[in-house]
Amino acid sequence: MTEPLAKPLVESGGVGFAGAINRSIADFVQRSKTRLLSYLLIGVSQLLINSANADLKPLWELSVGGGAIRIPYYRGASSSQRYLFPFLLPVYRGQFLQVDDNGVRGKLFASSSMKLELSADANIPARSSQIPERRGMPNQPATLQLGPSLAIKLWSKSNQSLVATLPVRGVFTVDHGVGSAGMTLSPQVTYYRDLLSTPQPWRLGLTAGLEFGSSRFHNYYYSVAPQFATPYRSAYQASAGFAGSRFVATLRHDVANYRISFFARFDDLNDAVFANSPLVGSQTNWTAGIVMTWTLFKSRTMVAHAHPGIFTNEQ
């Protein structure tokens, strides 16, 4: 029997999910460890060394900006959507709550080498008429991911640092109501570096990570119920486990009252448990974008604000 795509907010036990993750990790390492290590080392091996300190920033700011992004409808979709968007960005750098262009985060705990935060992620709605492999199937609402994220500083020297992050998030569909669409686990390692030793350096981030999902999450995107099967799209039931790898590069620059940010993300679905789903039209996806913001108003109260990769008590 096909599992419902989205269910009420209470999800049953996670033993199957954890077991699937353990099996997937073992299988993935056995099949792909050489390729994975190459990916993890590619960014770090070509970089030189510099340093990273916390800055004094206004407690709050109000900015306007605009951006452009190209993003697939979901990981594995053969079609992408392009957006041009203006926005109003409130920024708040409180002791426990932080709101900025990196999203909304709740700081639960922080030390010089570890921090625990609430983290979020999201995905755009999937319009089936625009996705060849989903034509004739219902549209999918946008999803929101929310959950704790543990970050551990593995190494730092001068203007650079290496940070391991473990986000565990529940996934929620966002439409006329809110429903549960499973869970995700996204262990990753990020290398941060200031490219120039100046008061306003360009800041680089390189991330390599693995993706895992529960059966309910994978069902949401990759299962095909029998009533939607066609001669070209067979019925399919997705399972929990390994969901591919992800590599992200970010570059940002702050000068006076404006900021410019570039980002690119590459998703590789090879060896994912749902790689054979008829709804996977591409084994790889690219996401890329640019955002510019201008600060209109800001607080006179200054607070210590650390970049991603900088932890409490670093001076």
Please give the full DSSP string across 101-146, using - where no structure is assigned. TTEEEEEEEE-SSEEEEEEEEEE--B-GGG-GGGTTSPPB-EEEEE
Tokens of 274: 């749902």
Residue 180 makes CB contacts below 8 A (sequence gap 6+) with 6, 7, 8, 9, 10, 11, 170, 171, 172, 173, 216
Q: Which of residues 232 and 43 earns the better pLDDT score?
A: 232
For residue range 199-250, list pLDDT tens digits in order.
Answer: 778 999 999 999 999 999 999 999 999 999 999 999 999 999 999 999 999 9
134-162 pLDDT, tens per residue?
Answer: 999 999 999 999 999 999 999 998 889 99
Quote the pLDDT of residue 57: 84
For 102-112, what is the mean pLDDT? 71
pLDDT of residue 21: 63
Mean local confidence (pLDDT), 273-301: 96
Query: Could you tell me the domains of the chain?
Result: 15-305 (2.40.230)
Looking at 79-88, 93-102, 134-143, 193-202, which range is the least confident one?
93-102
Which pTM value belongs to this model? 0.78
Q: In whole angstroms, what is the distance from residue 281 CA to residue 137 CA?
A: 15
Residue 2: its pLDDT value, please? 46
Tally Cβ neighbours within 10 Å of residue 165: 20
Q: Say what the pLDDT of residue 140 is.
A: 94
Higher-scoring residue by pLDDT: 48, 268: 268
